Amino acid sequence: MLFRRKKLDKALARREMARVVINLKQLHKRAYYYRTMLESKIAQNKEKLAYAEDENLKRTLLENIRMYTDALKAVSYVEAVLELLIVRLETLGYLGLTVKEIALVKEVLKGIKDSASIMPDISLISEDISERITDLMDYLPITGSTLTIASSEAKKIISEAEVIAKERLASGSLTA
């Protein structure tokens, strides 16, 4: 046969998953960096607003605060999702990753695609990781039930992350 699937070596699959986890950690750090920058920008604009006397300047500062707050919500959500995903993968990594976790990464990245689009570099990196997972999945035996389980676990991670992101925003006192 011309188009027979290659058999994937277990060691190669583990190395590729290790690379994916490393890239997810770097993506998480980038999201954290953006979150701290946005929090700083919001604080700076609020400070300027307190001393502004010109109405046009006040409107501009309020609009900037609203825009930064919207971006902060999206970035906080992405950061929380990545954090939960990394913790899950690292914990399961010690026990041995399975096909389900590989599919889980793909589902979670698909779930945060819209929120990640606010930051182009985060969006590009997450798409790259997703493509690499797809390539890896081509060599693995994945059943429909595995994808269903991964999808439901991805939804749990995403819903937990939404709660965490909202708590972080509420405790940060930087929301508008």
Print pLDDT tens along the chain (176 aa): 444 455 556 667 677 777 888 888 999 999 999 999 999 999 999 999 999 889 999 999 999 999 999 999 999 999 998 888 888 877 766 555 666 777 788 888 888 888 888 888 888 888 888 888 887 777 666 677 777 877 888 888 888 888 888 888 888 644 44
Cβ–Cβ < 8 Å for 157, 84:
yes
30 CA to centre of own chain: 10
Cβ–Cβ < 8 Å for 28, 84:
no
As a whole number of angstroms, the distance between CA 103 and CA 154 comes to 9
Could you tell me the CA-to-CA distances from 37 to 43, 119, 148 in Å, in that order? Answer: 10, 12, 37
Q: Does an H or E element contain 10, and which?
A: helix 10-51
